[in-house]
Amino acid sequence: MLSQKGLRGISILLSKRIDSTKIKVMTVMKRLFSAPVLVGGLAALAAIALAAFVLVYQTRQQELGGAASSANVQIGGAFEMQDQFGNTVTQASFPDKFKLVYFGYSFCPDVCPTDLYILGQAMASLEETAPELANQVQPVFVTVDPGRDRPEVLKEFVVNFHDRMIGLSGDDQATASMAKAYRIYYNLNEPDADGDYLVDHSALTYLMGPDGLYRTHFGHGSDPEKMAETIRKIIRADRG
């Protein structure tokens, strides 16, 4: 069995700077390691540690209530994807604009449509109250299901939420690389008898600055008016 010392070490590592969720991590670890670690257990240990980290991360996001300071947060980075029109898009494609970035997939039954609708409503509020600021924001949808979300699929999908939204897709490697840079978790589940499947993924909308750096994020089900107000404040503060 895993030693108590090893268990404690993993728990401390995962819960560093997230004190309010330490007990949850310890509980998960104790349950998972109540049986002997068999041959090949290192791979299982890595998977379990990742699962526990995701639990802590998601709990912390809920505690933050959607928005967070950008201090010391390293989110974003270089990427090369394709938009719904077949154009190559990189982190430098919109040098003068803020980006509202959401990762999901078009076959998502509930979470993605809800969050993208909210994003669209926040943009509509911004366009009504501060059109000069709204023009400085580019909505971006990134699929984590490139096998089904081809450019032609995304073209029909993103227009439902905002007329300026772009839909990005790439091969498996490009998708994984961009998701990693943006700290996005996703996992394609096994297909059912009809070949259909769901994708587990983080549900966050990032506001990225013209410099490509993280400004803040909004959690699932955020209030669009509050979202628009936060965006207004950040853009005005950035522009001085």
What pLDDT is stored for residue 61 in this prediction? 42
Between CA 198 and CA 190 the distance in angstroms is 8
Give the SS3 label for residue 78: coil
| 108 annotated as a binding-site residue | yes
Element housing 214 (H / E) = strand 214-219
Between strands 166-168 and 137-143, the pairing is: parallel
CA distance 10 to 78: 31
CA nearest to 127, candidates 215, 233, 232, 237:
232
Domain coordinates in residue numbering, the chain: 4-64, 80-239
- 112 assigned to a ligand binding site: yes
Query: How far, CA to CA in Å, does 54 sit from each of 25, 28, 51, 57?
Result: 10, 12, 5, 5
Class of domain 80-239: alpha beta
User: What is the pLDDT tens value at each position of the chain, 240 positions in all?
Assistant: 444 444 344 343 333 333 433 333 344 344 434 444 434 444 444 444 444 444 444 444 443 333 444 456 689 999 999 999 999 999 999 989 999 999 999 999 999 999 999 999 999 999 999 999 999 999 999 999 999 999 999 999 999 999 999 999 999 999 999 999 999 999 999 999 999 999 999 999 999 999 999 999 999 999 999 999 999 999 999 977
Select from 119, 159, 160, 165 the least CA-distant residue to 139. Answer: 165
Asked if residue 162 belongs to a known ligand binding site, the reply is: no
User: What's the rounded Cα separation, in Å, for the pair 198 and 195?
Assistant: 10
